[in-house]
Amino acid sequence: MRETSAEAASIRHLPIALFTTVMGLGGLTIATEKLEFLLDWHAGLSMMLLFITAAVWLTVFAAYVTKIIRFPGSVTDELNHPVRLSFFPTTSIGLILIATASYVYFPAFAQGLWWVAVAVQLCFALFILDRWIHREHFSTEHNSPAWFIPIIANLLVPILGGELGYLEVSYFFFAIGIVFWLPLMAISLNRSFFHAPMPQRLLPTLFIFIVPPSIGFTAWTSMHGGQVDDFGRVMYFFGLFMTMMVITQFRRFIGLPFTITMWAFSFPLAAITIASFIYYGQVQEVFFLVVAVSLYVVLAVLVIVLVIKTAVAVARKKVLLPES
């Protein structure tokens, strides 16, 4: 079928990775809740961010449903793509983050949304594992930290699940995330050490290395009544080290042309920021307060910059384009 309008042509190229904007905004929302709790601040900034995050998720979801209806072949192409396939769980990740952030204000709504997100996430995990195992055209060169995304979603489930008291469900998803994270990290490091350099447009996904230990720490702590134990400390400090590792490579990221994948900077920083607020809340050492607040400032500035750059790119019609 021929494309009959500029709008239709654009919708055809709507990337599933656009849901990463929700991840960045959702992470900032939860980090803001942690900061407000720490300062006993009731300005309502986190609630405003929550509504913005939910509105963005609904907007992107509606646009992608339109793509599914008008151009199902393009959606199939993304499902068969070795990199873009991993971004489909960003839809359920967005729901989990919205549910987690909503719990402070709307506990009943948050619990219902959490169950929906958990069901969707389980379906994605099974579907993507099937694709990874049985697709012959996937190779080591196709791997990137973006492959962590389906695993990240599993580790997010226990953050609210532990608080809600659903420990068995939380442990189920935590086990999936932790056990699969370790071999996937080994594969990613092998690919980085011994194979061709990662394409420039995927360099921001290196920040995803921060996420599994940071979110794993937050999930583990939630399942243990907010207490930090030795295993939690191991995950937190590994997440902190991974943050140092990618930040010290800042020269590689300066000057990169803007793409939607740059939102991959935001959620990892949010993950370690949230973990740092939780860690400070338990150990009460000023150093970790400085770390948490410093990371929050960087995160807030980064999200503002990304929002501006995304708005400019949308206005210039540089987002909904075929991948070169």
Dihedral Cα 26, 31, 32, 36, nearest 10 deg: 140
For residue 322, tell me if it sits in a domain. no
Residue range(s) defining the domain that contains residue 55:
7-315
Residue 267's pLDDT is what? 93
Quote the CA–CA distance of 132 and 143 in Å, as a whole number.
11
Are 266 and 23 in contact, with CB atoms under 8 Å apart? yes
Element (H, E) at 129: helix 107-134
For residue 323, tell me if it sits in a domain. no
The number of residues making up the chain comes to 324
- Helices 211-223 and 230-247 meet at what angle, rounded to 10? 160
Task: Print burial letters for 23-56: b (CB count within 10 Å at least 16), e (below 16).
Answer: bbbbbbbbbbbbbbeeeeeeeeebbebbebbbeb
Residue 139's pLDDT is what? 63
Are 121 and 153 in contact, with CB atoms under 8 Å apart? yes
Q: Which long-range contacts (CB under 8 A, 24 or more apart) does 178-181 make?
A: 178/212, 178/216, 180/151, 180/154, 181/148, 181/151, 181/155, 181/212, 181/216
| Separation in Å, CA 170 to CA 94, 158, 199, 218 | 18, 4, 36, 12
Beta carbons within 10 angstroms of residue 190's beta carbon:
12
Query: What's the total number of domains in the chain?
Result: 1
Element (H, E) at 185: helix 167-194
Residue 199's pLDDT is what? 67
Residue 13's pLDDT is what? 85
CATH at residue 261: 1.50.10.150
| Single-letter code of the amino acid located at 259 | T
Tens-binned pLDDT, residue by residue, of the chain (324 aa): 444 445 445 788 888 989 999 999 999 999 999 999 988 887 789 999 999 999 999 999 999 999 999 999 999 989 988 888 889 999 999 999 999 999 999 999 999 999 999 999 999 999 998 888 876 666 666 667 777 888 888 999 999 999 999 999 999 999 999 999 988 888 877 777 776 676 666 677 788 889 999 999 999 999 999 999 999 999 999 999 999 998 888 777 777 788 887 888 899 999 999 999 999 999 999 999 999 999 999 999 999 999 999 988 888 777 766 665
Are 214 and 275 in contact, with CB atoms under 8 Å apart? yes
For residue 324, tell me if it sits in a domain. no
For residue 2, tell me if it sits in a domain. no
